[in-house]
């Protein structure tokens, strides 16, 4: 067996230790004689897995008591509808559009009320985060929406928008648990699991309790009501049990790395290694404004499409895979989520240096 360094934007690398444990427990979880995949979601064994995952996540986030943690299905894309369906009371919401995912969320929001594009960075292919210190937030906005880390473009909010008292809703899919976060500044956070915390098929929702509506419009499906899932502790119907189990293992792994402070230190170190090289390189350059650089997704180009393609191909041959950039940006993108070890980034930078020497 030979593991590669996988720079995929998602689904993405998981800690090898988590995979080893899961493999070992596949036929018999802790002596109960069955796989976690085979367990009734109403069994005490699974209830323990769910409770532990939830508690570990609360610990990691130092979650205030007035927030609920939900493990749902349908990914971030389904949250694009669930958020307005549940949170639009005045029928108005403000969206800051910093990439394709925020744009999709905005379009979906517009189906359920008046969605305002409060700011956007589309003018420069989303290569920056707009100044959000004093935006004209709608007086009757039910929430202000952001995609906090933009996977495709490699930008991240370093300062949260001034929402002027309105609840902040954040898609944290690609930066979730990558650094400490003050949850009390958000009304709702959601994150698809497949980047930083587990396999595709689980989406974590963290919601301030007072935002969970008692009533929703009649057309909202039962499965798309936060209240149903909150009241049933994510067990209204059969949840994605195996995915939750893997997320739980990742939460424990993060704890063992020193929690979110530990992850931040590790992520800063990895990102610095790569960005420092990009800033001094004669061949490669980063594509986004330095002040808005993501710690998770690092797009870069040579400026020559053929050379980009050559780089991606030669890197893959060395076990550095999935470095091809998104088609809207071109070039390369290295996604260096929590589970990517420093050695992976070091190997990448070493290869970039070598490639620069050979092709510069």
**Is residue 6 within the footprint of a second copy (CB under 8 A)?**
yes
- DSSP-assigned beta bridge partners for residue 189: 170, 206
Task: Say how many CA atoms lie within 13 Å of 96 toward its Cβ.
Answer: 29
CB 62 within 8 A of CB 183: yes
Distance CA 181, CA 122 (A): 27
Query: Residues 49 to 108: which contact a second copy by CB under 8 A?
Result: 73-78, 80-82, 85, 108
Closest contact distance (angstroms) between CB of 360 and a second copy is 29
Please give the annotated binding residues, written as ranges.
42, 76-77, 101, 151, 171, 194, 237-238
Catalytic position from the list 94, 142, 171, 292? 171
**Is residue 118 within the footprint of a second copy (CB under 8 A)?**
no
Judging by DSSP bridges, how do beta strands 92-97 and 144-147 pair with one another? parallel
Selected from 97, 189, 224, 301, the binder of a second copy by CB under 8 A is 224
CB 70 within 8 A of CB 234: yes
Selected from 44, 48, 66, 222, the binder of a second copy by CB under 8 A is 222
Q: Which DSSP string corresponds to 178-218? A: SS---GGG-SEEEEETTTTTS-TT-EEEEEEGGGS-S---T
**Is residue 256 within the footprint of a second copy (CB under 8 A)?**
no
Q: Which DSSP string corresponds to 223-254? A: GG-HHHHHHTTT-SS---HHHHHHHHHHHHHH
**Is residue 344 within the footprint of a second copy (CB under 8 A)?**
no
Token readout for 268 is 């800063």
**Is residue 347 within the footprint of a second copy (CB under 8 A)?**
no
Closest contact distance (angstroms) between CB of 204 and a second copy is 14
Catalytic position from the list 101, 156, 270, 324? 101
Selected from 30, 64, 111, 303, the binder of a second copy by CB under 8 A is 111
Closest contact distance (angstroms) between CB of 332 and a second copy is 15
Closest contact distance (angstroms) between CB of 72 and a second copy is 9
**Is residue 194 within the footprint of a second copy (CB under 8 A)?**
yes
Closest contact distance (angstroms) between CB of 34 and a second copy is 5
**Is residue 23 within the footprint of a second copy (CB under 8 A)?**
yes
Selected from 240, 248, 286, 344, the binder of a second copy by CB under 8 A is 240
Token readout for 246 is 């893997």
Selected from 67, 95, 106, 112, the binder of a second copy by CB under 8 A is 112
**Is residue 312 within the footprint of a second copy (CB under 8 A)?**
no
Q: How many CB atoms lie within 10 A of CB 140?
A: 12
Distances (CA, A) of 278 to 303, 339, 353: 13, 22, 10
195 a catalytic residue: yes
CB 66 within 8 A of CB 209: yes
**Is residue 241 within the footprint of a second copy (CB under 8 A)?**
yes
Q: State the catalytic residues.
A: 101, 171, 195
């Amino acid at each position: 067996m030979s593991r590669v360094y996988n720079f995929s934007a998602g689904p993405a690398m998981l800690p090898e230790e988590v995979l080893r444990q899961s493999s070992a427990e596949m036929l018999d979880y802790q002596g109960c004689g069955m796989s976690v995949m085979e367990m009734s979601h109403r069994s005490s064994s699974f209830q323990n897995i769910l409770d532990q995952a939830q508690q570990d996540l609360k610990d990691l986030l130092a979650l205030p008591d007035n927030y609920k943690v939900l493990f749902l299905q349908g990914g971030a894309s389904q949250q694009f509808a669930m958020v307005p369906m549940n949170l639009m009371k005045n029928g108005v919401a403000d969206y800051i559009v910093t990439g394709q995912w925020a744009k999709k969320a905005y379009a979906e929001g517009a189906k359920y009320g008046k969605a305002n594009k409060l700011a956007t960075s589309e003018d420069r292919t989303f290569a920056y985060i707009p100044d959000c210190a004093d935006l004209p937030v709608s007086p009757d906005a039910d929430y202000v929406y952001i995609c906090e880390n933009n996977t495709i473009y490699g930008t991240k909010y370093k300062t949260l928008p001034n929402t002027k008292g309105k609840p902040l809703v954040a898609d944290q899919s690609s930066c979730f648990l990558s650094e400490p976060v003050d949850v009390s500044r958000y009304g709702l956070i959601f994150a698809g699991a497949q980047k930083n915390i587990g396999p595709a098929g689980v989406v974590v929702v963290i919601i301030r309790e007072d935002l969970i509506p008692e009533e929703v419009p009649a057309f909202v499906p039962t499965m798309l009501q936060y209240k149903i899932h909150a009241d049933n502790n994510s067990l209204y119907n059969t949840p994605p049990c195996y995915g939750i189990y893997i997320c739980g293992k990742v939460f424990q792994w993060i704890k063992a790395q020193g929690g979110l402070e530990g992850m931040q230190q590790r992520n800063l170190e990895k990102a610095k290694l790569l960005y420092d090289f990009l800033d001094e390189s004669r061949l490669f350059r980063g594509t986004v404004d330095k002040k808005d650089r993501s710690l998770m997704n690092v797009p870069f180009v040579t400026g020559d499409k053929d050379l980009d393609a050559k780089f991606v191909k030669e890197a893959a041959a060395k076990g550095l895979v999935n470095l091809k950039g998104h088609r809207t940006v071109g070039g390369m993108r290295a996604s260096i989520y929590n589970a990517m070890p420093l050695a992976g980034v070091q190997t990448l930078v070493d290869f970039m240096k070598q490639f620069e020497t050979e092709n510069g």
